[in-house]
Amino acid sequence: MNKKTISPFFFNSFPKSGTHLMFQILTGIHSVRFDQNLHLYEGVSRQLAEHQRELEKLRINEFLSGHIYYSTAWAKLLQNLNMKQIFLYRDLRDVVVSYNYYIEKINAPLHQYFKQKQLSKKERMLSIIRGIPELGHQDIHDWFSEFKGWLTTPNVLSVKFEDLLRSEESLDRSVQKIVQFVTEDKKENIDHTVIRRAKENISTQDSATFRKGTIGNWKEEFDEEIIIAFKEKAGQLLIELGYEKNLLW
């Protein structure tokens, strides 16, 4: 089983959805590896040829990661390369909280803008939710909508970040699906030592950007005004993604 070969694949995620946690799970599967210094962004048409070249460089037991918008062109690219994709996403309310803390400590695109404007934590979160038109930064609904098409694309395994943290049983089920997806083993033939190793490879201490990794942290951070703003922009999207049954939260 140690000599198992895995076809190259692509790992895609919506920003601040637990990317480094998934890195740890994936690199715990057999001898799977990736280039930590290479991460693809956006996937707009002008980048397609460059991204194709990078994907074509992948060899057995390798994957490439990125935050890539859905497009028929990118989906066709993966199809032509016969390459699978794992897509990771998260409750967008917790994304807002995580992204806010990330921008605060990392020199990300919005860091200088927020610093110059001297925005409070609440004002920063409202900006992330509502968007910043002067910078071309979309609101939270439109931002996720750039990725949403992957949820219904064939040969894509969609994973909720919460399913990796909800419980030990939920983590087991999710890791089994991931292992089965990348190894192409049938469920009855899966090597459960591989699942155990993938889980044992998880260490939140090794990630510079993994803050708390909790579920529902937005409840501690959102006040009524922020909740109303989020419902206006992406309340229905939360229902569509299965995070809420209605707007009464």
pLDDT per position as a tens digit, 213-243: 579 999 999 999 999 999 999 999 999 999 9
Please report how many Cα atoms fall inside a 13 Å half-sphere around the Cα of residue 25, on the Cβ side.
Answer: 26
90 touches 18 (CB < 8 A): yes
pLDDT per position as a tens digit, 37-53: 999 999 999 999 999 99
Cα separation, 207 vs 238, whole angstroms? 27
Considering just the CA atoms, what is the radius of gyration of the chain in Å? 18
pLDDT per position as a tens digit, 100-152: 999 988 877 799 999 999 999 999 999 999 999 999 999 999 999 999 999 99
Model's pTM, two decimal places? Answer: 0.92
Residue 107's H or E segment, with its range, is none
How many other C-beta atoms can be found within 10 angstroms of the C-beta atom of residue 174?
22
Cα separation, 177 vs 160, whole angstroms? 12
Range from 101-110, 176-185, 195-204, 220-229 carrying the lowest mean pLDDT: 195-204
Structure tokens at 230: 């989020």
85 touches 12 (CB < 8 A): yes
Q: What is the DSSP letter of 185?
A: -
